[in-house]
Amino acid sequence: MTLEPAQRVQAVPPSGIRRFFEIAEERDDVISLGVGEPDFSTPWAARDAAIHSLEQGRTSYTANRGMRELREAIAGYVADRFDLAYDPDEEIIVTAGASEAVDLAFRAFVDPGDTVAIAQPSYISYEPGVIFAGGEPLPVPTREADDFRLTVEALERAGAADADALVLCYPNNPTGAVMPAEDLAPIADFAREHDLTVFSDEIYAELTYEGEHTSIATFEGMRERTVVFNGFSKAYAMTGLRLGYALAPADAITAMNRVHQYGMLSAPTTAQYAALEALDSCDDDVEEMVGQYDRRRQFVLSRFEEIGMPCFEAKGAFYVFPEVPAGWTAEEFAEELLYEQGVAVVPGDVFGESGTGHLRVSYATGLGDLREALSRIEAFLEERV
C-alpha cells in the first residue's frame, strides 16, 4: 500500500523555485538575489523581549486570537499608520506568520468550486492555498504597460466579475508595484459591484518608498468585505519568528478563529512578546531598514538601466522585476546566469504567466553584494547577449 495524496494536493505542482534553490546550494560562490527575506537581524529590543519572555517562563499557549495586549498594540499601529480601525477584542487575530492568516481566510471563506481571482504576478502561495481550500484560482494578469497595477479592464478581461473573491498583494511580491489610492478606488468599486470578498495581503506596507500605503479596506463599503493580512516578517525582519495577523469584521475573524483554534491553537508565545516590543519601541529600526532598502532600490534600478536591461520602477517591497533580453526565456536566462556567473535570481513565470519574460531580483542583500552581482550580470550580458 502507498500513501496516496488527496487530489487537491496532487493538483498543486512542486514549487518552481526548488530547482534553482538546489543549484544555488551546490555552489559556494553564489550571490543570491533570490531571497525574499530581509538581511537585517530582528531589532535587538524585540529579540531581548523574546529572551526575557523565555526567562520568565512564559511558554504556555496564549488566547487563540493572540495576547490581548498585542492585539491592542496592533489595533493602535494599524490605526496610526494606515487609518484602519479594528477592535482588538473581535476584529483582529494573531497568526503564525501572515501565511497562516492567508490560509485561514481561504479555508474560512472559500467553498469548494468557488472562484478566487488572483492579481498576478503574485506571491507563489495564493494559488496552492486556494486549491487546498477546494477553490479554483483565476489568474488576473497585470501588465508592465500598466506598471503592474491591477485595473478594472484586467479584472473584466479575466472574467473576475463572476468570481467570488479577489486576492491583492500591494506593495507586490514579485514586481514591487504599489497601488496608490486613486488606482485602488475603481478596484473597490468593482469589488462592491460584483460582490467580491477581498483578501488584501499588505505584508510589505511599510516598505513603500514613494507616497503612502493605502489599504483597500479604507474605501467606503470595503471594510465589511475585506480581510487584511499583515505581519512582522518583512518590516521588522522577523521572518523566522513567524508572526502575522489578520484584520476583518468580527464575524469573519470568528470564522477564521474557528479554523485557527483547531489547527494552530495560538501563534508562538515567544514571538508574540517580540512583536509587542517591536510595535512598542522599534520604529527607528524600521525607519533605518526602510532607508537602506530605498538606497539599494535606487542603486539597482539605476544599474539595470545602465546595463541595458529595462526594469519597471518598483516603488515598494524589496524586489525589482527586469525584463529578460529578447531570445531568452526567463528560466534559461536565470539558469545560465546562475551557472556562469553565480548570481541567483528567480524566473518571473514562477509568479504566474504574466511574469513571463521577467526576473525577480531581490535587493534584501547588502550593497557590496548587489554591486558585485550587477557587475556579473553586466558581464553575462556582454558575453551572451
344 touches other proteins (CB under 8 A): yes
234 touches other proteins (CB under 8 A): no
Tell the residue number behind the cell numbers 514562477, with chain if given.
Answer: 350
Least distance from other proteins to the Cβ atom of residue 20, Å: 5
Least distance from other proteins to the Cβ atom of residue 365, Å: 8
What's the CA gap between 367 and 303, in Å, rounded?
A: 12
* Parallel/antiparallel/unpaired status of strands 115-120 and 136-141: parallel
Q: Out of 134, 147, 180, 299, which residue is the one contacting other proteins (CB under 8 A)?
A: 299
Let me know how long the chain is: 385
Contact region for other proteins (CB under 8 A) — 118-126, 163-171, 211-219, 324-332?
Answer: 118-126
What's the CA gap between 193 and 189, in Å, rounded?
A: 6
User: Which C-beta is closer to other proteins: that of 36 or that of 348?
Assistant: 36
Least distance from other proteins to the Cβ atom of residue 1, Å: 34
What are the residues whose beta carbons fall under 8 Å from the beta carbon of 359, sequence distance 6 or more? 321, 322, 324, 330, 333, 334, 345, 346, 347, 348
What are the residues whose beta carbons fall under 8 Å from the beta carbon of 351, sequence distance 6 or more? 120, 121, 122, 123, 124, 173, 174, 360
- Contacts of other proteins in 170-199 (CB under 8 A): 173
- Contacts of other proteins in 12-31 (CB under 8 A): 15, 17, 20-21, 24-25, 30
Least distance from other proteins to the Cβ atom of residue 382, Å: 18
Least distance from other proteins to the Cβ atom of residue 346, Å: 6
Q: Out of 211, 265, 302, 339, which residue is the one contacting other proteins (CB under 8 A)?
A: 302
Contact region for other proteins (CB under 8 A) — 113-121, 139-147, 192-200, 367-375?
Answer: 367-375
* 3-state per-residue secondary structure call for 243-294: CEEEECCHHHHHHHHHHHHHHCCCCCHHHHHHHHHHHHHCHHHHHHHHHHHH
Q: Out of 79, 212, 287, 298, which residue is the one contacting other proteins (CB under 8 A)?
A: 298
Q: Out of 8, 39, 52, 375, which residue is the one contacting other proteins (CB under 8 A)?
A: 39
Please report how many Cα atoms fall inside a 13 Å half-sphere around the Cα of residue 379, on the Cβ side: 12
Least distance from other proteins to the Cβ atom of residue 124, Å: 5
Asked if 33 and 362 touch (Cβ cutoff 8 Å), the reply is: yes
123 touches other proteins (CB under 8 A): yes
How many residues in the shown chain lie near other proteins by CB under 8 A? 28
Q: Out of 65, 225, 234, 303, which residue is the one contacting other proteins (CB under 8 A)?
A: 303
Amino acid (one-letter) located at 191: A
User: Which C-beta is closer to other proteins: that of 125 or that of 329?
Assistant: 125
User: How would DSSP label each residue in 206-248?
Assistant: T-B-SS----GGGSTTTGGGEEEEEESTTTTT-GGG--EEEE-
User: Which C-beta is closer to other proteins: that of 212 or that of 305?
Assistant: 305
Contact region for other proteins (CB under 8 A) — 194-202, 254-262, 265-273, 295-303?
Answer: 295-303
Report residue 205 CA to chain centroid gap: 10
Phi and psi based region of residue 352 (left: phi greater than 0; alpha: psi -120 to 50; beta: remaining): left
C-alpha cell at 308: 541595458
User: Which C-beta is closer to other proteins: that of 150 or that of 345?
Assistant: 345
Amino acid (one-letter) located at 297: R
Residues that bind other proteins (CB under 8 A): 15, 17, 20-21, 24-25, 30, 32, 34-37, 39, 123-125, 173, 295-296, 298-299, 302-303, 344, 346, 367-368, 371
